[in-house]
Structure 1
Amino acid sequence: MTDEDSETFHVLHVDDDASVRDLVASFLPLERPALEVRSFASAPAALDALDGVDCIVSDYEMPEMDGLAFLKRVRADSPDLPFVLYTAAGSEELAAEAISAGVTDYFPKSTKREQYTLLANRVQNFATQYRTARAMGAQQRRFRKLVEYSSDVVSIVDANGVFQYLSPAASNVFGYDPDDLVGEVGFDYLHPDDVEYAVETLFEAIADPSYRPVITFRFAHPEKGWVVLENTGRNLIDDPDIEGFVINSHDVTERVAHVAELERQRDRLAEFASVVSHDLRNPLSVAGGNLSLLEQTGDTAHAAHIRLALERMETIIDDLLTLAREGENINSLGPVSLSAVAESAWQSVDTKSARLSVDTPLVVLADAGRLQQLLENLFSNAVTYAGPTAHVRVFDLRDDRTHDPAPTTGQQNEPTRGFAVADDGPGIPPSDRERVLDYGVSSDPDRTGFGLAIVRRVAEAHGWTVTVTDRPDGGAMFVFTDVRTPAPDAADDHPPA
């Protein structure tokens, strides 16, 4: 038994002659068991029973509505439904009009068994073709909707990387109307550092059609900047229906950022573990050794060494806790006066005989408490290394001619500026400038080396970039760029600190 014989095809037969209806209802299933016939005496009655029908067989001469009028009514709603005009009243004129109206076949009536066999064969063929076409059409519509409503971009490029087709999702993921990208070279929109890798991968896939690469690259979105796309490709250049390289692109920018953040946290934990195991071990050993001497000799002089070791451990632990807190992301920022926070931070630090100059009216979007912690560490560092009479300056980069303003890369509608903190001390050697912001780096044995690491963590939590350099006239300078500032009306209402 074939697949066709294993399924049922629904045939609707219309004839006002009851004997013809009986013959058709009997002979068609006999010749083709897959055919199931439903009979009607009039076309108007049959019009209400078209749902699920795979083929119509109709007489021409009938009361109320003839077969040609019936055909036209059917074609209005079902242009592809097979319709066989089965009639004894034939003429060239009727055949021509039926063909013009969209009849599938024109078949003469006969009492011969062979005629019913032929009719049954044709009806099943028509019904099979109709059902197959409907199934294919449904699959095509389903596929088209999947492509149209998918959050991933389906694109086709030729062997030179030129876009031939892009699905509607390109408007959101790529940021461009799909029609505007057709004819464009896709590589032109990739990050310069990713182009060579993408080109090599495409050529490899063209050379080996079995190769299905999965690569990640950065794409220039007109509003979001560089978005990270994960792309799965397949070579269908030899497929006549595609004639190109099919790429499915998925935006993984957030996922990549999340992974990067997890890696930073992992590295931070590793650094903490290293610092704890190294920096706490020394004072712990000192305390333990002096405790043993105190127990053996009873000399209380050893107690002073124990106290100093414990104080050293307490300082390290406090700095570690501060470093952990300041490295957390900041969810709420408000307009803060840089000069007010700087003055407050200066009062919180033992600045000896040093003096502070604040030359900026800058208002920044920041967490006032963390910004003060940043400045306190910078001021303490300046007094330690520049000396007790150091002159420390805080200034707006746009107002200072010794430093060119950095390019702005802030969020939309939030302008960016920058500021710097400088001293008049000996400065920092160029070879040390990249590492002074790392954990535990200090040339002073009495300091933990966490102060500038805290500065870096606070800056990163705000989304700022910190650079270590020297002023032209000498002294260390810490430059902060990508500092977001509030809109002018918001800046007018900023709190003092």
Structure 2
Amino acid sequence: MISILYVDDEPDLLELAQIFLEQTAEFRVRTSTSAEEILANPEILSFDAILSDYQMPGMDGIAFLKEIRKRSFDLPFILFTGRGREEVVIEALNNGADFYIQKGGDPKAQFAELANKVRYAVRRKRAERELQKKSDELNASYEQIAANEEELRQQLDELTVKQEALKISEEKFRAFTENVPDLTTISDINGNYQYISPSIQRITGQNANTLLGKNYTGVSSFFGIIGEDEEILLASGRTALGKPVEPVPVPPFRVRDVQGGTVFIEGTITYLPDVRGIRGLLFHGRDITDRIRAEEEINRKNQELRLSYEQLTASEEELRGQYEELALSEKRIRESEEKFRTLFEKIHEALIIYTERRFTDCNQRALELFGYASKEEFLSLVPKDIFPPV
């Protein structure tokens, strides 16, 4: 059903139009004698079309049309006008009227024409609205596609950057592992080695390329671990399986090189459940043979020093005993000298010691006998001074 608002200052014409249009049950007509009043009613937007007379008191049909379009109402608008008013028709069409109908003539034919134009205008407006809706949806789709394209482009750019960064990272990793002396291996959980750094050749003499992709029943098969040292690495591997992504220390263990020599290796082993596409065991180790040899040499030197120290301690004990005996002898000599000095000074005879052609000592009795006051003065004499020649 099409709802129509009909505005006219002639009530009889309003009633006649309502009766004629509603008799088909296709139209529902609401009438009003004042354009100003209907503009104040919010129900104006509920109609499918507006029919208005041109010449009305207060606000005429053209002013009514202008106000409708000013308020952005896109309702179909049909203007009733008298004959010979072409300038009114032109103004109406220029201001957005959809159709115009000239009053007069056969009412039946006139209202039939009105019904056709209302029907056509409403269908056209509905088609325009549907077309606009589809156009808006299409534009929204285009905008969404453009946004999706931009998002995809950004994601592609990010992916390109990440791929380039991954390539650089892989190149750095390869450059690092191929130029450092440490040993790096990556094996899957089935024991197939996916990567072996070239340093394996320097450490054990084996060629990394000949070992890639081969299956080993155990890590020890690859390293050639000596006897009981196999359990050291296997135990670390079992521990690593229970601690994903956490490096587990591997204590020093021995391996045989291709010439039958012994090489010492220590490092870490890490279980990677799925880290950047790597799944398996990562071993990173270093050749510590020189360090072990140095430690062995240090231990040997320490043992030699320990033996030397023990011998030195024994010699020290012997020297200490000899020193004590020497100290005792010195004490006895000192006591003898003191006894001699006491006897030398207290004896009543004059005593003079003459050695190496000079006087070296004398007692108090000698000073008194020869009349000298000090020992220094007497010792400066020569024999002829106290024993003149006869």
What is the TM-score normalised by the length of structure 2?
0.41
> With CA pairs under 8 Å and 6+ residues apart, which has the higher RCO, 1 or 2?
1
- TM-score for the superposition, normalised by structure 1: 0.33
